[in-house]
Amino acid sequence: MMKIASVLYITLLLSNTAGAVGPKAIYGTDDRHEVISYPNKNIQKLAKSVAGRVSEFHLHESPIKGYQTFNMTSLGDRINACPGEKFSDQPSLMSCSGFLVGKDLLVTAGHCMKTSDHCQYNKWVFDYTVEKSLLKNDTIYGCKGVVARGEITLPLIGTTDYAIVQLDRKVEGREPLKFRTRGRIKNGTDVLLIGHPLGLPMKIADNATVKGSFGKTFRTNLDAYGGNSGSPVLNQKTGLVEGILVQGDKDFSYGDTCTASNYSTGHGEVVYKITRLKALQKLQEEGKL
């Protein structure tokens, strides 16, 4: 029964974060890091502009004024994790990731905003990191509406998967992330990922490169999971957003008694190029970001 419950939870999590596209995987060693201990302070600062999507039903008023509590079920309990599974003792809360591009505009994957319910019944939370046991009200934002959205995968043409979300108020104390507006990222470029794998407190994944480019997307060997959908993929040298994490290899291997991360030797993480998001380019040209 525990194994059945584990598979059911994972299926639900991935259906929320990956839609019709695939989940993600670990390539080589697990290169996910806590934001607070990441050695590059500039990347730490950029992480403050990344948010996670969480159901409003998982947030609750705290006895401490100005804060919210949240469901504290651990990842290990939710997936019936094998011994040694990384971060299994941490709470699993988020279902997608996104990043700030304007004072009240956030970009995520299109499959994270499939319906009006995804806007109405979810919040976007900044600063959800491992050391936080409460969430400040001023880091929690509602979805006012979806400015633009696209989601389609076609043979030979490729994948389109994005949404631009308008938040319910302007975001204070955080700078919108800068993004590439022309040209394309080269194969072999070092990239990193910021987001909420498996709904965990925010992680930075690095030690990855661009492995190939085709049409609207490029591929990398970033360590990512369901929950990273919508995460910004950044050029490690320039700090510019190069794309949105949208697809990948399978997350888990299922044993007889427990669940373990799937380790791969390939480069199956698919990133939608930010230069292909024409609605975002238009907003920038019109001075609306």
pLDDT for the residue numbered 19: 38
Helix H or strand E encompassing 119: helix 116-120
* Residues whose CB falls within 8 Å of the CB of residue 125, separated by 6 or more in sequence, listed in order: 51, 52, 53, 54, 94, 135, 139, 140, 141
pLDDT at 200 over 80: yes
3-state secondary structure of 92: coil
pLDDT for the residue numbered 240: 98
**pLDDT band per the 50, 70, 90 thresholds, residue 29:** confident
Q: What is the pLDDT of residues 88-113, one digit of tens each?
A: 999 999 999 999 999 999 999 999 99
Least confident of 192-196, 214-218, 259-263: 259-263
Domains and CATH numbers, the chain: 2-285 (2.40.10.120)
Residue 177 dihedral angles phi and psi, to the nearest 5°: -70, 145
DSSP at 168: S
Scan for tokens 């490690």, then name that residue.
236
Q: Is the pTM of this model over 0.85?
A: yes
Q: What is the DSSP string of 171-203?
A: PPS-PPPPB--SS-PPTT-EEEEEE-GGGPSPE
pLDDT for the residue numbered 249: 79
Name the average pLDDT for the chain: 89
Q: How many CA atoms lie within 13 A of 16 on its CB side?
A: 24
pLDDT for the residue numbered 16: 40
Q: What is the mean pLDDT of residues 31-40?
A: 96
Helix H, strand E, coil C: the string for 266-285 is CCCEEEEEHHHCHHHHHHHH
Interatomic CA distance for residues 22 and 145, integer angstroms? 26
Nearest alpha-carbon partner for 62 in 174, 171, 139, 147: 139
pLDDT for the residue numbered 44: 97
Work out the number of other CB atoms within 10 angstroms of the CB of residue 288. 11
Judge residue 29's burial from the number of C-beta atoms within 10 Å of its C-beta, 0-12 exposed, 13-18 middle, 19 or more buried: exposed
Q: What is the mean pLDDT of residues 186-197?
A: 97
Looking at per-residue pLDDT, the higher value among 269 and 267 belongs to 269
**pLDDT band per the 50, 70, 90 thresholds, residue 21:** very low
pLDDT for the residue numbered 8: 38
First to last CA, the chain: 50
Interatomic CA distance for residues 159 and 149, integer angstroms? 13
Q: What is the mean pLDDT of residues 261-285?
A: 89
